[in-house]
Amino acid sequence: MDSLEAGYGDIQVLWNVSIEVDRGEVVAVLGPNGAGKTTLLKAIAGLLKPRKGSIQLDGKRIDGLPPEKIVEEGVALALAEKELFPLMTVRENLLLGAFNKRARRKLDENLALVFSIFPKLRERQLQRAGTMSGGEQQMLAIGRALMTDSKLLLLDEPSTGLSPLLVKNIFEGLRKLMENKSEMSILLVEQRTAQAANLSDRGYILSNGRVVFEGDIEGGLNAQAFVKKYLGM
């Protein structure tokens, strides 16, 4: 992604943001609330049209394409708001993740993968998505994104609003996922810096819609101090 600018209506959120994710790499984007992290993911997935700059996937420009084409090109998104289908069952939500043609062919394989990463979803298959707890809904949102069989997985704050135990569950699931799908790239947006830093190969720090740091983010609790230093908090 190169010098991307995006926003809502008259309000510009992202300013000249350039980010790169290599194949099989896990990249974290850290930063406080309102830094533009979610906007960044929405722009990549085509839910927002970028105003300037370009987005490329494997050398092919995808900016300006409608969202369904971007899914076909191989980008999956799990938003913090989850955006599930509340009256459908867990299973139906997952099946819809595999709506694009490429994913339909690998439906059984990906469903087995999702169930192995989040066994809870297998138990809850026939429950309506709207009646599940926040943590289970988060698992379902990630599971549904995995069902799209993408090259690049965009994860928007998978830990938001969850108890520490559930956060641990989610991050364990992500670790399992990385072992199983080593060719898939992940762009992970987080406020909870320690876990995200542990999981990722590299990171960016976003503040007020601009990249203020890029490179290795030290693991563990140091990461928190590290981010604070860059954000001047």
Partner 1 sequence: MDANFLLFFLDGVVFGLILSLIAAGLTLIYGLAGVLNLAHGELLVICTVGTAVLLQAFNFPLPLALVAGILLTMGTAAFLEKILLRPVYLLEGEERVLLGLYMTLSFSILVHGALITSFPLAFLTINLPVATVDFMGLTVRTAQIATGVASAAILIGVYLFLKKTWNGMAIRSLTQNETGALIVGVSVKRYRLLVFLLGAFLVSLAGIIRSVVATVAPESGIEFTILGLLVTVLGGIRSVYGTIVAGLVIGVVYTFLVVFIGTYLAYVALLIFIIILILIKPYGIVGERW
Residue 230 makes contact with partner 1 by CB under 8 A: no
Q: Measured between alpha carbons, how far is 203 from 216 in angstroms, rounded to an integer?
A: 6
Contact criterion met (CB below 8 Å) for 48 and 38:
no
Least gap, CB of 94 to partner 1 (angstroms): 10
Residue 96 makes contact with partner 1 by CB under 8 A: yes
DSSP letter assigned to residue 132: S
Q: Measured between alpha carbons, how far is 74 from 63 in angstroms, rounded to an integer?
A: 13
Residue 77 makes contact with partner 1 by CB under 8 A: yes
Element (H, E) at 115: helix 107-117
What mask, x for binding partner 1 by CB under 8 A, covers residues 115 to 154?
Answer: -----------------------------xx-xx------
Size of the site for partner 1 (CB under 8 A): 29
Candidate residues 1, 14, 45, 139; the one interacting with partner 1 per rule CB under 8 A? 45
β-strands 75-78, 2-8: how paired? unpaired
Residue 83 makes contact with partner 1 by CB under 8 A: yes
C-alpha closest to that of 69 among 41, 44, 96 = 44
Least gap, CB of 67 to partner 1 (angstroms): 4
Q: Measured between alpha carbons, how far is 184 from 186 in angstroms, rounded to an integer?
A: 7
Pick 148 or 200: Cβ nearer partner 1: 148
Q: Which parts of this chain interact with partner 1 (CB under 8 A)?
A: 45-47, 66-68, 71-72, 76-77, 79, 81, 83-88, 92, 95-97, 99-100, 104, 144-145, 147-148
